[in-house]
Amino acid sequence: MLRAEAEEDVPGFSERDYLGEEEFWARIETARERGATYARRIRSGDVRHDPKGGECPVWCDVWPMCRVRRA
Ligand code: SF4
């Protein structure tokens, strides 16, 4: 995800990666809100094992050190 105005300085990415100012900052705000929600959840002691979709993806490379049983 890149700001469209950076395309000249940071070329070579997919056209879809370059976003206008409004969309770029909207996505930043969404990520910030999600991060804050997860942080609140963890601070409250909720560290349940709930990988997205209910199962650990086969591409997860950190499963050998993950302290939860692989779903
Ligand atoms: S193995 Fe652990 S780190 Fe990997 S997806 Fe599952 S819960 Fe997440």
Q: Would the CB of 62 count as within 6 Å of ligand 1?
A: yes
Distance 49 CA to ligand 1 centre (A): 8
pTM: 0.65
pLDDT score of 10 more than 70: yes
Q: From CA 17, how far away is CA 20, in angstroms rounded?
A: 10
Q: Which domain holds residue 7?
A: 2-65
Confidence of residue 62 (pLDDT cuts 50, 70, 90): confident
Amino acid letter for position 43: R
Q: From CA 28, how far away is CA 52, in angstroms rounded?
A: 21
Q: Would the CB of 68 count as within 6 Å of ligand 1?
A: yes
Say if 30 falls within a structural domain: yes
Helix, strand, coil % in the chain, rounded to nearest 5? 50, 5, 45
- Closest C-alpha residue for ligand 1 atom 5: 56
Say if 26 falls within a structural domain: yes
Confidence of residue 15 (pLDDT cuts 50, 70, 90): very high
In the beta sheet, which residues pair with residue 18?
2
Say if 70 falls within a structural domain: no
pLDDT at position 22, please? 97
pLDDT at position 71, please? 62
Number of domains in the chain: 1
